[in-house]
Structure 1
Amino acid sequence: MGGIGKTTLAQFAYNNGDVKKHFDERIWVCVSDPFDEFRIARALIEALKPGSAKDLVEFQSLMQHIQEWVEGKKFLLVLDDVWNEDYYKWEPFYKCLKNGLHGSKILITTRKDRVARCIRSTNVTSVNVLSEIECWSVFEQLAFFDRSKEECEKLENIGRQIVSKCKGLPLAAKTIASLLQSRNTEKEWQNILESEIWELEEVERGLLTPLLLSYNELPSKVKQCFTYCAVFPKDYGIQKKELINLWMAQGYLSEKGAKEMEDIGEEYFNILASHSFFQDFKKDDDGEISTCKMHDIVHDFAQYLCSNECSTIEIHGGEESAMSSFGEKKILHLMLTLYRGASVPISIWGNVKRLRRLRSLLVESDEHSWSSKVLPQLFDKLTCLRALKLNRDRWSCVNYIKEIPTNIEKLLHLKYLNLKGIKKIEKLPETMCELYKLERLDVSCCVKLRELPRGIGKLRKLMYLHNEGTDSLRYLPAGIGELIRLRRVRDFVVGGGYDRACSLGSLKKLNLLRDCRIRGLGDVSDAGEARRAELEKKKNLLKLGLHFGHSRDGDEERAGRRENEEDEDERLLEALGPSPNLKKLRIDEYRGRRNVVPINWFMSLTNLTVLFLFGWRNCEHLPPLGKLPSLESLHILGMENVKRVGNEFLGVEGDTDGCSVIAFPKLKLLRFRYMEELEEWDLGTAIKEEIIIMPRLSSLTISSCPKLKALPDHLLQKTTLQELYIRRCYILEERYREETGEDWPKIRHIPNIEIE
């Protein structure tokens, strides 16, 4: 029987503390279907030693490495979700695993009894992982959640009959329970129990019936979004934002404004998650879902529904297997994953009757994967593409595409173009400006990219320009100021001294911007130009970065153009009046000295929740930030001239009427890092004046502050501190050392303490 995600008993065996002590190596491999010996072998090696499989392209060399790794070791191998019942396909694995010490075990989880019988051996333990009783437990937790005792008693009998139809499959029980959460009457539950769909035998003898029941309840647009997910491989970590972007490119989220489409995409994703079509969620720092996966059975179900319109192919070398995978399918959405030593087979595009209709081509490639002849042919023939991705998200991989062919202009329907991490390209062709429907362009981490097309102003539908990590990009073209639908420009590079470069004033018309970082402010000396940007009028702007450094090329030459760096930066910052709705702000390399920053500038940020201040080399006192009413997360880094933090940091004074004053009323996370001259942090005067300081603080990090003598007792003992991290702070490490430090008693109550 399959589990929910990783099956319960197998997961217990894998993670149990006693089991960990019993085995030298523990290895978990999700096998799934279709059976791929090469993929399983790579997964085994990666589990034993991450990164060691990337150079191995021959199956026999993989087997040899497995044999060497397990030799003389006692191991537990969990083969999860096994379908293949051909013993001879498993035989090479068992032969190379025989070198393990006596007592090694292989634990198999499967939904097919014949699998367990066919591949049983002396050191294989076959397990029927979950019983119907445990399925009922899963069902009961979801279907009866938040119901009265009387309701539960009325519905229990019908519920048990429904669970019995799930045939011991906990995912089925979970899915049908999610559906029944919104059904409150016995009649509604009875209708589900008596549905004719339970009699279907097309897919796994009806095991997917609960999924079909749940799927039929979805709105038609959400159904389309769900089946699109079949384009990803099994066990693939799906990035939520990326998925919504691809839905948008296919027109699944209706043709409204970007904000509306994003909101609809979030809504559709949440609907699918609530119906248990997604699982294994991971969250970002803001607590939002960032990635998820699909259970193998859900993936099979999506493939079944989309009639093979979605396909995913892994190419390890050679062309034949890839070509044969297409068969008679009429593919609309294709993902190719290319491993080292493989290349995109040119012959795939030779007969494109079935590929001319391709709407999505998502290619993830390792190094040495591209022939210079492939892309021109691809652009010539796949003219129906809406989404094209030519990258690999893993930062360590190198992609050897050296240029984008000029005939990219033939992709007239393209809305989404992802070139992330293509490290060799230096410029993009001007013909790209003929892609009038393009809405999203991602060139982030293209580290050698020096310029964007001058005619970029023609891309009037462009809403997102992802260009972070493009440090060689000298400027943005002036035409960027005409793209009035732009919502995100990660690096708005101001090109001081370059012809046809954008200026700060180019921001004036971009009133839909929600996320923008302005880079190269060190090259700007005209405060009037900054005022023309009219940042304070951009009510949609929620995230802003201001980088006062110079553009990358010719720093020394252009630095001399500004007579007084300190005064220039102060005037410039004041002219860049911030949007009142900002939620996240970062200011880097600011060189102002007088009054640190204009006080009113910060005090207007009543909605600000996250603030980063980095590398203010002339700053001697921290800004008075304590009055910011919404601030939850504060990061102060690289203030190399700050020696003391005192009351000025709080920005508040005692009230003469005796009313309490709160400094940093909502602050939860505070980080001081790379403050190499900081010696003293004193809040004594404020405490005497009965000022309440950081009442909600839960996480405090002090890192690379080697001269800091002590932390304020008030923060350690009078706040809701849950986490304290001290790293590379030699005096503090001694002072708060566990048991032996003189101030250890002041922090011992904090639940999570890390001192390095």
Structure 2
Amino acid sequence: MAESIVGILLNNLDSLTKSELSLLRSAESDMESLSSTLTTIQAVLADAETKQFSDHAIKNWLAKLEDVAFKADDILDEWATDESLAPHCSCSCSCSLFNCAKFIMSRHKIAKEIKTIRERMGEIAEERSKFHLSNHQITQMNRETSSFPNEPKLYGRDMDKENIINSLLESQNIGGDDDVSVFPILGMGGVGKTTLAQFVYNEERVVKQFDARVWYCVSVDFDVKKISKAIVKDVSGTECRPDDTLDNVQVQLREALSGRRFLLVLDDVWTDKQELWNMFKNSLPFGAKGTSIIITTRLQIVTDIVGTAPAYELSPLPNDDCLLLFQSYAFKNVGDQANKKFKKIGRQIVEKCGGVPLAARALGSLLRSTRELGQWERIRDSEIWNLQAGKEDTILPALRLSYNYLSPQLRQCFAYCSLFPKDFVMKKEALIRIWMANGLIPTDERTDLEVVGNEILNGLLWHSMLEGTKREDDDGNVETCRMHDLFHDLASSILKSHCLHLESGSARALHIPDGARHFSVTSGIDSELHINHSTQSQQSLRTLMVNNHQYHIRPMLVDFTHFTCLRTLHIAGFKLSKLSSSIGDLKHLRYLSLIRSDLKSLPKSIGKLGNLQILNLAKSIDLRTLPKSITRLRSLKHLDTRYCFELKGMPNGIGSLTALQTLRYFKAGSEERGFAGIRELHGLNLLRDLWIVGVGHVKSVEDAKGACLMSKTNLSKLRLWWKMLDSHDEDVKSRSREVLECLQPHPNIKVLEIAEYPGAEFPTWMQMGDPLSSFPTLVELILNSFRNLEEWLLDWKEKESLPTLQSLQLSFCPRLNSLPEEICNLASLKSLRIANCDHLISLPHELTRLTSLESLTIKDCPTLRSLPCLAMQGQKSSLRLLDIFRCKQVASKLELQHLTALQALRLQDCSELKFSIQDLDYLTALNFLTLGPSIDLPESVKARVFNMFSKHNLKSWSRYY
């Protein structure tokens, strides 16, 4: 990781020298010299990072370099912080004289420290000569593969093999003579892409279909000339001359392939350069119709560039198949498969492999040589990365190749993820912000750091080093992600003692090891937790994260004042009722999260945290006030007080925090009690996520206009909560409509939520006529608790209104009796949820026009009388989930036979609803089925359903009585 911190340090040095900070002349010279020395060292770091695994001296040299580099980064950050808070004084009073003198002394102190760092770094630079390090990029190790499978049998991939073969064979009759079909196989390292491709390549039906077949292992270097030469040799049997130009080679390639239908497998492709792929593919359209290419890769971006068909993504193997693979190695040529003890431990080992065949095969091979039960138990209880060098060659090279291919920025962000527990689901938003707080994202004045962070996250997803667990949208953006265990082991082995996560169990005292820079602990105890630390750990720690999943936990006892280098401090779930005023001494702190605490207030000293970018106080339900000093946090970008129900309001002056991008739970109408009013939002034009509660307390139209929501072009999420008012008061209804009229957001809005609105009708911009149809990017619309709304009027003149709307939720509208037919014009709508609408009688009749609809939920609508047709014969339905719950007057017959994509069906407490049990035969994709007691099933039909359970592989079949 030395390469990463040196890069960060050089970037920070460059930023400081270009800024207008007041430098002492000697310090300026030292900084220039330090920058030159670091540049010299940086040139050999790629080679050193690779050789450290086999050379302990180089490893120690890198450790020394890292320590000095981190210390230098702390000093430069302290300098920049002091400068930003420096007194702009005329020295006209004793207080100003004291502050100016204090600042000058600080400058001299930092200048001396920079000199020491420069001298120490010079010594380290001189040491590098004895290691004979190369000053060029190390060529990455290529993994040689062949077309012949290493496995005698394909475990758990028969269906995958058939799917790919069928796609290959079907492509023979599609497209023109010059078309080349490209089938990418995508998956993380070790999941079995190469093995699957080998079995497809050697399948008899495939061999007969093609005139020629070529297998080529590409690995990291996508050399067009080299690949072309190999194909010529395989197809024609003749070798190209060593001095042949690329043009000459490609002429020979065309001659060799002309008129022939061939299959080319390019295994282990890494290149994301479109021009290289185009150069290669343009030489191939000379084969016969049906020519195909199979590509295996770990990178999503590769499939996007090369594929003519969607990527075939391999999932981890089921444990039973993985176990068979493991046993084929562990018990090979040994007749002890029947030994129950070994088989039991073997199954437990396989469960740790996470369905990765590479891991199962490596561990099986390792254990094949021993029949000592204790050894098997030790392997079961060990971490894979702790295996001795030489025994890990079948696992770590594949994983390290993924890691080594990353840029330094991606490497450090990847390794940092070892701070979280295994299988921990990381929220994208929080993860990127923690990376930012620790300086892991390179700064660029022209680019927003969160945009760069999102690119880094996507890069890790493309490399399959992170796995998306929840998608935000159709573009593939993720909301949450996790790291596979094997990659977690790799990340942990990289940072080792510098980045640690511990599960405290029942321990009440934890010790932070010396040298740890990032430390996290998950506690489950119901008593006091003490965190002990040494002077050295105080000076090095940059991240401290403590999570507790218990409620009503007693205080965590730790003195934070000594952790002067902290960038990130996260405490969750502890009974923290008071925060020491010494928190203000953590001048490097960027990220402060105190969620689910018992805090009632924050100390005034928090206003001294000039570098603080993120302040998260969510779910601190006793929090009542924020200090006025918070308005001095000019670097603050994200302030989150969600579900702080006792919070009286934001302090006056909150509008001066013009860097704010997130402001959740801004309490409106509080100015009369001395808090900020809604007008303070006027200048916060960088806001992206705004949540206003208590909108009903806004007193005038002028105040609402003063928020200037229409001018906030960056705003993508807006939530307006009215809070409970007298919904029968006519003045309240009228004023609420007028206020909402003035809170119209900019057309760039993507998520809009309005809750507890007491008005009887929408404002003009909410009636979805021409004004709202100009919201071209709206993705989600949530309307909750409109207690006086009787009719929803739409005046769409265009059928393409709200072209991007994917989710519509309507709930707790007790007077609403129908929905407008124009809803059926929402061509992109995927999810429609209607709940707790007590007087709703009917739904739009033409729901069949919602061809993109995947989820339909209708709950607690007791007066709903009928359901419209959901799909017509011959129409392709996208509906995957249908949930009808507690709609007791629905007397329609539900036609299910055309809902062939349906995966989940719940019909419960709908006593009058009718449907034909035979329709279930058509639901071949069905995985989950719930039928409530009101659905009367004779015994013969119950048997039929159980048969379908087996036939359709239902994962869940429930009956509630």
TM-score bin (small chain): 0.5 to 0.7
Q: Is 1:547–2:547 an aligned residue pair?
A: no
User: CA offset at residue 743 of structure 1?
Assistant: 5.1
Find the counterpart in structure 1 of residue 885 from structure 2.
727
User: CA offset at residue 334 of structure 1?
Assistant: 0.2
Letter in 1 for 2:545: L
Name the CA distance, whole Å, in 2 between partners of 1:288 and 1:390.
28
Find the counterpart in structure 2 of residue 219 from structure 1.
407
Residue deviations 1:89-136 (CA, integer Å, cap 9, x gap): xxxxxxxxxxxxxxxxxxxxxxxxxxxxxxxxxxxxxxxx99897669
Structure 2 length-normalised TM:
0.53
Kept after mapping to 1: 8 A contact 2:669/2:699: no
- The structure 1 residue matched to 2:214, chosen from 129, 147, 153, is 153
Letter in 2 for 1:512: L
Greater CA deviation, 400-409 or 600-609? Answer: 600-609
Name the CA distance, whole Å, in 2 between partners of 1:630 and 1:296.
37
Q: Is 1:744–2:915 an aligned residue pair?
A: yes
Greater gyration radius: 2
Letter in 1 for 2:750: K
Find the counterpart in structure 1 of residue 519 from structure 2.
334
User: CA offset at residue 667 of structure 1?
Assistant: 2.0
Q: Decide whether aligned partners of structure 1 residues 713 and 223 sit closer, same or farther in structure 2, where only a CA change above 3 A counts.
A: closer
Q: Is 1:388–2:569 an aligned residue pair?
A: yes
Q: Decide whether aligned partners of structure 1 residues 499 and 208 sit closer, same or farther in structure 2, where only a CA change above 3 A counts.
A: same
Find the counterpart in structure 1 of residue 438 from structure 2.
250
Q: Is 1:586–2:753 an aligned residue pair?
A: yes
Alignment RMSD (CA, Å) = 3.9
Letter in 2 for 1:614: N
Find the counterpart in structure 2 of residue 356 from structure 1.
539
Letter in 1 for 2:562: K
Name the CA distance, whole Å, in 1 between partners of 2:864 and 2:614.
47
Q: Helix, strand or coil: the match of 2:456?
A: helix
- The structure 2 residue matched to 1:298, chosen from 487, 490, 507, is 487
Name the CA distance, whole Å, in 1 between partners of 2:482 and 2:212.
33
Find the counterpart in structure 2 of residue 229 from structure 1.
417
Q: Decide whether aligned partners of structure 1 residues 304 and 155 sit closer, same or farther in structure 2, where only a CA change above 3 A counts.
A: same
Q: Decide whether aligned partners of structure 1 residues 591 and 604 sit closer, same or farther in structure 2, where only a CA change above 3 A counts.
A: farther
Letter in 1 for 2:826: F
Residue deviations 1:632-688 (CA, integer Å, cap 9, x gap): 2111111111123354x55xxxxxxxxxxx7223222212110111123354xxx7x
Q: Helix, strand or coil: the match of 1:361?
A: strand
Question: Percent identity over the alignment?
Answer: 28
Find the counterpart in structure 1 of residue 940 from structure 2.
none
Q: Is 1:604–2:787 an aligned residue pair?
A: no
1:402-551 paired onto structure 2 within 5 Å: 402-422=577-597, 424-496=598-670, 498-549=672-723
User: CA offset at residue 428 of structure 1?
Assistant: 1.5
Name the CA distance, whole Å, in 2 between partners of 1:145 and 1:522.
65
Find the counterpart in structure 2 of residue 712 from structure 1.
868
Kept after mapping to 2: 8 A contact 1:621/1:644: yes
Letter in 2 for 1:618: N
Q: Decide whether aligned partners of structure 1 residues 156 and 319 sit closer, same or farther in structure 2, where only a CA change above 3 A counts.
A: same
Find the counterpart in structure 2 of residue 640 from structure 1.
814
Q: Decide whether aligned partners of structure 1 residues 221 and 145 sit closer, same or farther in structure 2, where only a CA change above 3 A counts.
A: farther
User: CA offset at residue 470 of structure 1?
Assistant: 1.6
Q: Helix, strand or coil: the match of 2:216?
A: helix
Greater CA deviation, 208-217 or 308-317? Answer: 208-217
Q: Helix, strand or coil: the match of 1:569?
A: helix
Kept after mapping to 1: 8 A contact 2:819/2:842: yes
Structure ranking higher in helix proportion:
2
Q: Helix, strand or coil: the match of 2:772?
A: helix
Q: Helix, strand or coil: the match of 1:356?
A: helix
Q: Decide whether aligned partners of structure 1 residues 692 and 336 sit closer, same or farther in structure 2, where only a CA change above 3 A counts.
A: closer
Q: Is 1:666–2:828 an aligned residue pair?
A: yes
Letter in 2 for 1:386: R
Q: Is 1:681–2:862 an aligned residue pair?
A: no
Residue deviations 1:193-226 (CA, integer Å, cap 9, x gap): xxxxxxx974754342233333222111111112
Q: Decide whether aligned partners of structure 1 residues 143 and 405 sit closer, same or farther in structure 2, where only a CA change above 3 A counts.
A: farther
Find the counterpart in structure 2 of residue 616 from structure 1.
786
Residue deviations 1:126-158 (CA, integer Å, cap 9, x gap): xxx998976694325589999x98997241599
Q: Helix, strand or coil: the match of 1:478?
A: coil
Find the counterpart in structure 2 of residue 6 from structure 1.
none
Find the counterpart in structure 2 of residue 657 from structure 1.
none
Q: Decide whether aligned partners of structure 1 residues 715 and 498 sit closer, same or farther in structure 2, where only a CA change above 3 A counts.
A: farther
Q: Decide whether aligned partners of structure 1 residues 209 and 731 sit closer, same or farther in structure 2, where only a CA change above 3 A counts.
A: same
Find the counterpart in structure 2 of residue 5 from structure 1.
none
Kept after mapping to 2: 8 A contact 1:315/1:342: no
Q: Decide whether aligned partners of structure 1 residues 296 and 669 sit closer, same or farther in structure 2, where only a CA change above 3 A counts.
A: closer
Instruction: Give the length in aligned residue pairs.
Output: 558
Name the CA distance, whole Å, in 2 between partners of 1:521 and 1:339.
39
Q: Helix, strand or coil: the match of 1:681?
A: coil
Kept after mapping to 2: 8 A contact 1:455/1:479: no
Kept after mapping to 2: 8 A contact 1:253/1:261: yes
User: CA offset at residue 502 of structure 1?
Assistant: 1.6
Find the counterpart in structure 1 of residue 739 from structure 2.
572
Structure 2 unmatched runs, 5+? 1-149, 156-189, 221-266, 281-295, 297-386, 898-910, 933-961
Kept after mapping to 2: 8 A contact 1:606/1:629: yes
Kept after mapping to 2: 8 A contact 1:602/1:625: no
Name the CA distance, whole Å, in 1 between partners of 2:828 and 2:593.
38
Name the CA distance, whole Å, in 1 between partners of 2:218 and 2:829.
50
Q: Helix, strand or coil: the match of 1:680?
A: coil
User: CA offset at residue 242 of structure 1?
Assistant: 2.4
1:159-170 paired onto structure 2 within 5 Å: none
Name the CA distance, whole Å, in 2 between partners of 1:613 and 1:737.
29
Name the CA distance, whole Å, in 1 between partners of 2:617 and 2:696.
24
Kept after mapping to 2: 8 A contact 1:241/1:290: yes
Name the CA distance, whole Å, in 1 between partners of 2:813 and 2:436.
42
Name the CA distance, whole Å, in 1 between partners of 2:868 and 2:615.
48
Q: Helix, strand or coil: the match of 1:644?
A: coil
Q: Is 1:138–2:193 an aligned residue pair?
A: yes
Structure 1 unmatched runs, 5+? 1-128, 160-175, 190-199, 393-398, 651-661
Name the CA distance, whole Å, in 2 between partners of 1:136 and 1:303.
21
